[in-house]
Structure 1
Amino acid sequence: MDNCLPTSRPFAAATAVLVLAVLASFWPPEAQGHNITEILEKLPEYGVYNSYMSLTKIADEVNSRRTITCLVLPNSAMSAVAANRSLATTKNALRLLVLLDYFDPQKLHDLPAGTTLTTTLYQTTGVAVGKQGFVNITNVRGGRVVFSSAATGGGSKPISEYTKSIRQIPYNISVLEISAPIVFPGLLDGSPVSGNSINLTAVLETAGCRTFASLIAASGTIETFQAAMEKGLTIFAPKDEAFKAEGIPNLSSLSRSDLVTLLQYHAVPSYAPEESLKAAVDRPVVTMAAGSSGKYNLTVSVQGEDVTLHSGRDSSRIAGTVLDDTPVCILTIENILLPVELFGETPALSPAPEKEKSPSPSPSPSTTAPAPSTVSAKAPSSLALSPPGTAPESAPAVSPETAAGKADDNTPSGVPKVVPFSWLAAIVASSWALLC
């Protein structure tokens, strides 16, 4: 340290601190994921609540959100809510117990002015009327905290009381036990839904999927769909414009068996709303076309809020939700999904004709061979997604540096990109050098 310049030390130290602070602002925080079913699975007193969270797929909605509070009912109270009611009605009751804010015991007892109005998951459905999607939280005498629907009106208000804390991951998820459900007039009045009570063709035609509706009716596929409704059914219905798109095979040339297979490829024999599909990015989605002749699976990718289905030959983004009435879900998609098992892989694109070049001096013999960097690798002919950790045999080897660059380019917007550790080490070393 004898060669250090004393006058430079304060400036160098300040520079080092500033650099590290800037780097820290770009460094991504540690992920704080949560899984409500895993939190409750070892607590048998909430087994009924936990099972309905899975059946209705509310668990997927909870797990996809960053900041959330779950109000949990013990078995006796949850059994009373679900008794003789459809899954759709039970699902709405559960949505009203999910608060889109973080409330731990301390925050509940320190509410400004002793009360607050908070938004619930039910408000995000688009079916809430007035204040049905909001809940009042109030501190009352004796340190008690109660919950009530903001849409109850002037009559006697059903009261649900906070009883104890179950689990908190600040400020990610809070799980609290309450004594009774939060309800508003009419919330639990829904009658059990029979699969045959939904007019599939009418729903599809209203959503702009008339061609798809006519095809499933004419081929008899609608009977298969209706039979699956009782246990669970999700339909990916292409819009009418999708059947007019360029490159779509002539469906009239298909045999009846192949047409039925294609239509069944657009359905899943389970309840899978959009939030549940987002959780399926690491596993295949088995369609109703699956059988001895092939797997007929789909894969899912997510970019921001967009969910895209991939057949291995083509892909289609989910355009919207037409019906979400547990256990039936109908989603519209932008393109027809063509299974590889039926239509084969996408043909390789023909190389574009070379443009005429202006005359140029003949190269010397030593320069006639193209440089290695100008030799293009042949692109894979299949668009099928490879399983995680694998790559197509024809894919060129990618260096770790290139792979890291590509991964960095695919970082979703709003997520800070990772600063290479080597950069941090170099800057710290440089800053330390300034000290000496």
Structure 2
Amino acid sequence: MKGKMQGIMLFMISLTLVLLCAISVGAQIDGSPISSPAPAPAPEHVNLTHLLSYAGPFHTFLNYLESTKVLETFQNQANNTEEGITIFAPNDDAFSKLKNPSLSNLTNDQIKSVCLFHALSHYYSLSDFKNLSQMSPVVTFAGGQYSLNFSDVSGTVFLDSGWTKTKISSSVSATDPVAVYEIDKVLLPEAIFGTDIPPTPAPAPAPAPGIAPAADTPAADGGGSKSSPTSTPSTATRRISNLDILTGLVLAFASAKFLF
């Protein structure tokens, strides 16, 4: 009996220890802080310097952006994924063809405004310009007086600054939030160069076509195989001539026989 009671007491003590351990572990689990999920990695921003350096012949445009610090402004806007940016990048040939007016006589502030004039403070895909053309003129990054007119003709986007009329020749990058489009002329704003725009020179007239000689006249065919109707006797005429000769011979023989 005494052994049985000792067994029961040992069992009760063991059960109590197990319950205490379970309660302690449960308290530790409930009190441990819940780990928060790892934050999503920040999106990679488009490096405009790298893009303009390697994506096309935009070295002159890039030099202007860097010297005026406009590149920093554009890069900050490009990193703002809520709005984004649209840049119209003139190629190097566009600057080499720019003679009159020139950028050489502009102040640093004016050159900076010209650079800002080549961007919109919002991302626009090529398909967006169809609706954007109905909102023209559109204010550029340079401010209220610096606006551009857009038109979409069968998918080709044309730009008009007053002084400059050009079109988007290629899409360098068009992934939201950054769009960079190549153009073949430098955009010149009326806010700097004025509204006294020289007229566009008329195209040179086409040369007059040469006068071709007549094809079917007798003179043009003088050396050909065809002859005029009177140049060669017909078959009937030759037969009549042969008959006249035969008749003459018969009469000659008859006259000679009569004489002798």
User: Which band: TM-score by shorter chain?
Assistant: 0.5 to 0.7
1:205 shift after superposition:
2.2
- Matching residue of 2:148: 298
Please give the residue correspondences for 1:93-172 in structure 2 after superposition, counting only pairs within 5 Å. Answer: none
1:348 shift after superposition:
4.0
Tell me, yes or no, if structure 1 residue 264 matches structure 2 residue 116. Answer: yes
1:324 to 174, 180, 184: 174
Q: Structure 1 residues 223 and 246, CA, compared in 2 at 3 Å: closer, same or farther?
A: closer
Please give the residue correspondences for 1:241-260 in structure 2 after superposition, counting only pairs within 5 Å. Answer: 241-260=93-112
Q: Structure 1 residues 226 and 248, CA, compared in 2 at 3 Å: closer, same or farther?
A: farther
Tell me, yes or no, if structure 1 residue 198 matches structure 2 residue 49. Answer: no
CA distance in 1, matches of 2:122, 2:192: 23
% identical equivalent positions: 32
Please give the residue correspondences for 1:13-92 in structure 2 after superposition, counting only pairs within 5 Å. Answer: none
If you compute each CA radius of gyration, which structure gives the higher value, 1 or 2?
2
- Matching residue of 1:287: 140
1:275 to 117, 120, 127: 127
Is residue 201–residue 214 contact of structure 1 (8 Å, CA) maintained in 2? no
2:87 to 201, 225, 235: 235
Tell me, yes or no, if structure 1 residue 209 matches structure 2 residue 61. Answer: no
CA distance in 2, matches of 1:349, 1:323: 32
More helix by share: 2
2:183 to 329, 333, 351: 333
**Taking structure 1 as the reference length, what is the TM-score of the superposition?**
0.34
CA distance in 2, matches of 1:349, 1:315: 10
Q: Structure 1 residues 256 and 307, CA, compared in 2 at 3 Å: closer, same or farther?
A: same
CA distance in 1, matches of 2:200, 2:167: 23
Which residues of structure 1 form unaligned runs of 5+?
A: 1-83, 86-190, 352-436
- Matching residue of 1:342: 192
Helix, strand or coil at the partner of 2:151: strand
Helix, strand or coil at the partner of 1:276: helix
Q: Structure 1 residues 350 and 301, CA, compared in 2 at 3 Å: closer, same or farther?
A: closer
- Matching residue of 1:128: none
Q: Structure 1 residues 308 and 252, CA, compared in 2 at 3 Å: closer, same or farther?
A: same
Which residues of structure 2 form unaligned runs of 5+?
A: 1-38, 203-260
Helix, strand or coil at the partner of 2:49: helix
Q: For 1:361-402, what per-residue CA distance to the aligned partner results, in whole angstroms no more than 9, with x for missing partners? A: xxxxxxxxxxxxxxxxxxxxxxxxxxxxxxxxxxxxxxxxxx
More displaced 10-residue stretch of structure 1: 205-214 or 341-350:
341-350
CA distance in 2, matches of 1:349, 1:324: 32
Question: Which runs of structure 1 show a deviation greater than 3 angstroms over 4 or more consecutive aligned residues?
Answer: 348-351
**Taking structure 2 as the reference length, what is the TM-score of the superposition?**
0.56
- Matching residue of 1:160: none
CA distance in 2, matches of 1:224, 1:258: 16
Is residue 308–residue 318 contact of structure 1 (8 Å, CA) maintained in 2? yes
Q: For 1:50-69, what per-residue CA distance to the aligned partner results, in whole angstroms no more than 9, with x for missing partners? A: xxxxxxxxxxxxxxxxxxxx
CA distance in 2, matches of 1:209, 1:192: 29
